[in-house]
C-alpha cells in the first residue's frame, strides 16, 4: 500500500483535548460492559485498591465462579502462552516502530482513515473497540480523535500497548481472545480489526464474534490479506511451513541472521524498472522502499519487523473479496463497502433493529 507524503498535514493538525484524568489501569466502571467469556454472565471485581482505576485484583464470574486475573492494569482472560505468542514477542521488541508519534509520519493514521472511513466527529467521545491492538498503532489514532478506546490483544503485546498509550487518553487494556470476547452483546458503536483476522484459526468465526458485540446502528471495519493466484509467487508462503514450526525466539534469531544478507538484494531487485516491485516478493524479506516516506533507518526497522511478522504467525489465511463481503452479509450488516487498498477491506453498519 502506497502512502501519500502528507506529513505536513499530520504536523499541523491540532490534537484533540484529552480527558482531564488520564488513567494507567483498568477503570472499575469498565465492569459494566465486561462478561465472562465462558458463560456470558456479569463479573465482580475483587481488589484491595480504592482508586477508580485498578492495577491488580481478580475478576470473578457471578454465575460459574470462573476467575480472571487483573495484573499490571490489564484484565487477562487468556493464558499467558497461546498461539499468538510470536506477536507478543514481536510487539514488545518493536513496541514503537509503527506508532505515528514515533515515526513522524501519518502512516497508521492514513490507513485508519482509508479503511474505516470514519471522520473525527464519528470518534469523538464514542466507545471504540480495537480488536487486536498490537503495540497500539491504530488505538493511538483513535485516542487522538477523542475516542474512549477498549484495546484488546490475545498476546502480551497488550503490555506494549499499555506502555505506549496509557498516558494518551481514555483507554482500557484487556488481554482476550477474539473468539471468546469478554463483552456484552451489542456493546460497541464502533469497532475495527486491522491486520488481525487472517491470523486467527477460523477468520469467519472471528468476524462473527466481532459482529455480535457491535451495537445496533454501529459500524465495523476489518481488513484481510488478499487471496488470489498471485500468492503463489509470494515466497513467504513457500517457507512458512518450515518457519511456523519454530519458536518465536528461534524464528527471530534466524531472521536476524538472514535479513542483513537478503535485504540489500531485495533493494537492488526492487529498483528494476516496472518489474522490481513484483520481483521483490520472491525474496523472503519485506521491503517498503518507495512505499512509505521513511528514512533509511526507519525503512530497515519496518522491514525487519514485518519480515518477522510474515515468518512467525501460527496462522496466515488470506481471504477473497467475496468471502469478506459474505461475512458482512451473513451477519446482517447494511451499507457494506468492500475494496482493495493494499489489503482487502470491508466495512458496514449493523441495522438498528438487529439484536444479534
**Same domain, yes or no, for 189 and 244?**
no
Are 257 and 250 spatial neighbours (Cβ–Cβ below 8 Å)?
Answer: no
At 208 the pLDDT is 97
**Same domain, yes or no, for 167 and 183?**
yes
Residue 1 has pLDDT above 70, yes or no: no
Residue 55 lies in a domain: no
Are 140 and 112 spatial neighbours (Cβ–Cβ below 8 Å)?
Answer: no
**Same domain, yes or no, for 234 and 221?**
no
pLDDT in tens, 98-122: 999 999 999 999 999 999 999 999 9
Residue 73 lies in a domain: no
pLDDT in tens, 191-216: 999 999 999 999 999 999 999 999 99
**Same domain, yes or no, for 287 and 322?**
no
**Same domain, yes or no, for 282 and 342?**
no
Cβ atoms within 10 A of the Cβ of 52, count? 12
pLDDT band at 169 (very low <50, low <70, confident <90, very high): very high
- Number of compact structural domains in the chain: 2
Strands 127-131 vs 343-349: parallel, antiparallel or unpaired: unpaired
Residue 29 lies in a domain: no
Least confident of 128-132, 199-203, 226-230: 226-230
Residue 137 lies in a domain: yes
Residue 287 lies in a domain: yes
Residue 4 has pLDDT above 60, yes or no: no
Residue 337 has pLDDT above 60, yes or no: yes
**Same domain, yes or no, for 342 and 240?**
no
pLDDT in tens, 254-295: 999 999 999 999 999 999 998 988 899 899 999 999 899 999
**Same domain, yes or no, for 142 and 211?**
yes
pLDDT band at 11 (very low <50, low <70, confident <90, very high): very low
Range of the domain at 240: 229-311
In three-state secondary structure terms, 68 is: strand
At 355 the pLDDT is 55
Residue 222 lies in a domain: yes
Cell numbers for 23: 488513567
Q: Read off the DSSP letter of residue 44.
A: E
Percent of the chain with pLDDT over 90: 76
At 153 the pLDDT is 96
Q: How far is CA 252 from the centre of its chain?
A: 21
Residues 6+ apart with CB under 8 A from 99: 108, 135, 136, 137, 140, 164
pLDDT in tens, 31-66: 999 999 999 999 999 999 999 999 999 999 999 999
At 20 the pLDDT is 40
Residue 207 lies in a domain: yes
At 8 the pLDDT is 36
**Same domain, yes or no, for 114 and 15?**
yes
Give the span between the Cα atoms of 151 and 170, in whole angstroms.
Answer: 11
pLDDT band at 30 (very low <50, low <70, confident <90, very high): very high
Residue 24 has pLDDT above 90, yes or no: no
Residue 50 lies in a domain: no
pLDDT band at 22 (very low <50, low <70, confident <90, very high): low
**Same domain, yes or no, for 114 and 216?**
yes
**Same domain, yes or no, for 250 and 343?**
no
CATH number at residue 17: 3.40.50.150
Q: What is the enclosing helix (H) or strand (E) of 115?
A: helix 107-116
Span 236-261, average pLDDT: 90
Amino acid at each position: 500500500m502506497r502512502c501519500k507524503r502528507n506529513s505536513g498535514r499530520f504536523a499541523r493538525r491540532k490534537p484533540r483535548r484529552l480527558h482531564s484524568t488520564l488513567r494507567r489501569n483498568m477503570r472499575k466502571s469498565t465492569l459494566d460492559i465486561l462478561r465472562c467469556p465462558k458463560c456470558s454472565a456479569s463479573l465482580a471485581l475483587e481488589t484491595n485498591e480504592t482508586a477508580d482505576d485498578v492495577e491488580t485484583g481478580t475478576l470473578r464470574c457471578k454465575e460459574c465462579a470462573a476467575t480472571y486475573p487483573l495484573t499490571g492494569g490489564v484484565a487477562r482472560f487468556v493464558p499467558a502462552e497461546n498461539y499468538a505468542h510470536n506477536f507478543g514477542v514481536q510487539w514488545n521488541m518493536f513496541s514503537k516502530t509503527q506508532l505515528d508519534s514515533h515515526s513522524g509520519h501519518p502512516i497508521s493514521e492514513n490507513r485508519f482513515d482509508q479503511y474505516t472511513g470514519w471522520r473525527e466527529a464519528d470518534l469523538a467521545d464514542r466507545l471504540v473497540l480495537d480488536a487486536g491492538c498490537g503495540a497500539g498503532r491504530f488505538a493511538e489514532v483513535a485516542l487522538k480523535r477523542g475516542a474512549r478506546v477498549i484495546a484488546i490483544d490475545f498476546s502480551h503485546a497488550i503490555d506494549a500497548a499499555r506502555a505506549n498509550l496509557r498516558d494518551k487518553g481514555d483507554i482500557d487494556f484487556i488481554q482476550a481472545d477474539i473468539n471468546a470476547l469478554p463483552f456484552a452483546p451489542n456493546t460497541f458503536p464502533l469497532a475495527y480489526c486491522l491486520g488481525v483476522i487472517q491470523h486467527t484459526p477460523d477468520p469467519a468465526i472471528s468476524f462473527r464474534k466481532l459482529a455480535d458485540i457491535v451495537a445496533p446502528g454501529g459500524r465495523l471495519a476489518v481488513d484481510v490479506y488478499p487471496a488470489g493466484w498471485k500468492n503463489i509467487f509470494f515466497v513467504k508462503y513457500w517457507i512458512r511451513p518450515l518457519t511456523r514450526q519454530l519458536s518465536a525466539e528461534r524464528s527471530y534469531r534466524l531472521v536476524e541472521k538472514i535479513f542483513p544478507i537478503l535485504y540489500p538484494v531485495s533493494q537492488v531487485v526492487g529498483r528494476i524498472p516496472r518489474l522490481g516491485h513484483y520481483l521483490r516478493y520472491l525474496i523472503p524479506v519485506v521491503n517498503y522502499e518507495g512505499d512509505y516516506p521513511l528514512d533509511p533507518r526507519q525503512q530497515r526497522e519496518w522491514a525487519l519487523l514485518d519480515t518477522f511478522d510474515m515468518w512467525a504467525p501460527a496462522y496466515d489465511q488470506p481471504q477473497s473479496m467475496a468471502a469478506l463481503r459474505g461475512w458482512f452479509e451473513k451477519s446482517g450488516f447494511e451499507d457494506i463497502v468492500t475494496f482493495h487498498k493494499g489489503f482487502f477491506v470491508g466495512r458496514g453498519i449493523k441495522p438498528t433493529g438487529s439484536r444479534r
